[in-house]
Amino acid sequence: MPLLPMRVLLDHAAEHGYGVGAFNVNNMEQIQAIMAAAQKTESPVIIQASRGARSYSQDNYLRHLMLAAAELYPAIPVAMHQDHGTSPEVCFSAIEQGFTSCMMDGSLLEDGKSPAPYSYNVETTRKVVEYAHRRGVTVEGELGTLGGIEDGHGAGLTGDEALAHLTDPAQAEQFVAETGVDALAVAIGTSHGAYKFKQRPTGEVLKIGIIKEIHRRLPNCHMVMHGSSSVPKELIDIINRYGGQIPETYGVPVEEIQEGIRNGVRKINVDTDNRLAITGAIRKVFAEKPAEFDPRSYLKPAREAMQRVCEERMIAFGQAGHAGGIKVVSLDDMARRYVTMGR
């Protein structure tokens, strides 16, 4: 099956009431883990790369790894997504490299750190939408500013400062109308990275009510939850048992993500959980077999550990079993759809 526009996956998820995990990658083993999990659970999947990942792996390597994944798993619908594009040019380059979806994160300025004014966000996002839709490529925008930093991207907001930059539902309605985005990342109190919360988050810090209100105003809007790794204690414990020093931290509970899915969330970004799983598995091999030097001896269990996390998330998000229900839609087909939609 060819790589599909992400919009096709999100539309199917909305029709059938589930969410789709979007898993970040940097190398071959991560892609292999995601695809093995998708096949085992019969799940459609979004594989995404940040600017940092594209720089680390190089676009040509990444593109061919993704094409290999599509070739080896022809029954699995896959979208290839650029995560957190900081300028139209970053998004344009992703599209030229074969990405079938891109995120224009105009919530921050091009430095990827400074919160941007609303007018800037609309202008840059709309520019990407116009370019991408002519080519059948999906566009995700963001309104509001998430806490934390990921791959050098993020304003690093915490506490009350982060809460002051949450998504405004009325402005979200306006933003979607003015830009024509296919999906909207919303800020509800989540943050990038492993150190999200010092205690299990409650309604005081995780504002699921924002999602509910946006869904009420925009019932056909595909919302996205960033910073949504759950940071399982058992993964932290494995790392620390074998020499790590990660302090107590909490992520986004899976049941809160499921509540979001029931209210219009269709894409859920997961990165930290997979990093934790990989790191714990590698540390375990190094601790138990200090003479080991064959990369396959520690990358294979690392890949297996990540696959388990992906399988768990795919089942929890409800995407398991839906791979066979998604029809192939080419980028050209999608471009024609956008014309009929007036986008």
Catalytic machinery residues: 83
**50 φ/ψ angles, rounded to the nearest 5 degrees:** -80, 175
Looking at this protein, which amino acid is placed at residue 334? M
CA dihedral sign, ordered 319, 337, 327, 1: negative
C-alpha torsion 191→192→194→199, nearest 10: 0
Indicate the SS3 state at residue 215.
Answer: helix
How many Å apart are CA 158 and CA 178, to the nearest integer?
29
- β-pairing, 183-186 vs 20-24, is unpaired
How many Å apart are CA 14 and CA 88, to the nearest integer?
27
Alpha helices for 74-143 (secondary structure H): 88-96, 118-133
Residue 338 · residue 329 · CB < 8 Å: no
- Three-state secondary structure along 155-209? CCECHHHHHCCCCCHHHHHHHHHHHCCCEEEECCCCECCCCCECCCCCCCCCCHH
Q: What angle do CA 197, 200, 205 make, to 5 degrees?
A: 65
C-alpha torsion 316→317→322→328, nearest 10: -150
How many Å apart are CA 266 and CA 174, to the nearest integer?
20
